[in-house]
A and B are shown apart, each in its own frame.
Chain A
Amino acid sequence: AQSVTQPDIHITVSEGASLELRCNYSYGATPYLFWYVQSPGQGLQLLLKYFSGDTLVQGIKGFEAEFKRSQSSFNLRKPSVHWSDAAEYFCAVLSSGGSYIPTFGRGTSLIVHP
């Protein structure tokens, strides 16, 4: 069965600092991987996705993520964080064959200090 681990429940950064949110997955074959962002009281918005090809993927709002098969990781990065980036971030994995039901991590809450 597929699973996702986001080891950091909270991350605090200063505005303008760089950011890396960790995501590790468990899945036998090549997975489809996603990062979503959720602002308070809102639904989830897709930031970026990986399913094949270049292992460094670019997303919206200046975010990027790198797929590392050897480490079963798909960490999210941003070079300079803005106060508006404060939100909950979820990593998700989807099997590349069969069911299209994603499994989500428990999320990482990003706090941005001015």
Chain B
Amino acid sequence: DTGVSQNPRHKITKRGQNVTFRCDPISEHNRLYWYRQTLGQGPEFLTYFQNEAQLEKSRLLSDRFSAERPKGSFSTLEIQRTEQGDSAMYLCASSSDRATIGQYFGPGTRLTVT
């Protein structure tokens, strides 16, 4: 168990550029979550996969955001035409089918849009 990993850890981009983040979950976990966290706030749910199926997306999630999880392994989160308001920490978490286990979080990707 190597834990949840995320890459890159930091990303600085100019407004209007596209960015892509990667998350590698714990190998035996079939559920994968993406969250956004801004300063002084708790994680805000973005989207959730069970295996390769994207089962739920936040209504707050802009059409500029898209996520994939091909083959039910790693996942990518892409933000198109970034805006300054997208600056945040993007967290990935994974869990098993047993909700009582809780979620295991990666270290996050810090996005700064200039």
Chain B residues, Cβ within 8 Å of A36: 105
Is A55 engaged at the interface, CB distance under 8 Å to the other chain? Answer: no
Is B2 engaged at the interface, CB distance under 8 Å to the other chain? Answer: no
**Chain B residue nearest to A51 in the complex (CB):** B100
Contact of A100 among B4, B43, B99 (CB under 8 A): B99
Is A114 engaged at the interface, CB distance under 8 Å to the other chain? Answer: no
Is B42 engaged at the interface, CB distance under 8 Å to the other chain? Answer: yes
Report the separation of the CA atoms of residues A45 and B104 in the bound assembly, to the nearest whole angstrom.
7
Is A94 engaged at the interface, CB distance under 8 Å to the other chain? Answer: yes
- Residues of B whose CB lies within 8 Å of any CB of A are 4, 6, 31, 33, 40-45, 48, 56, 91, 93, 95, 99-100, 102-108, 110
Give me 17 A-to-B residue pairs in the complex whose CB atoms sit less than 8 angstroms apart, sorted by A's number.
A32-B99, A41-B107, A41-B108, A42-B108, A43-B6, A43-B105, A43-B108, A44-B93, A44-B105, A51-B99, A90-B42, A100-B95, A102-B103, A104-B42, A104-B43, A106-B41, A107-B42
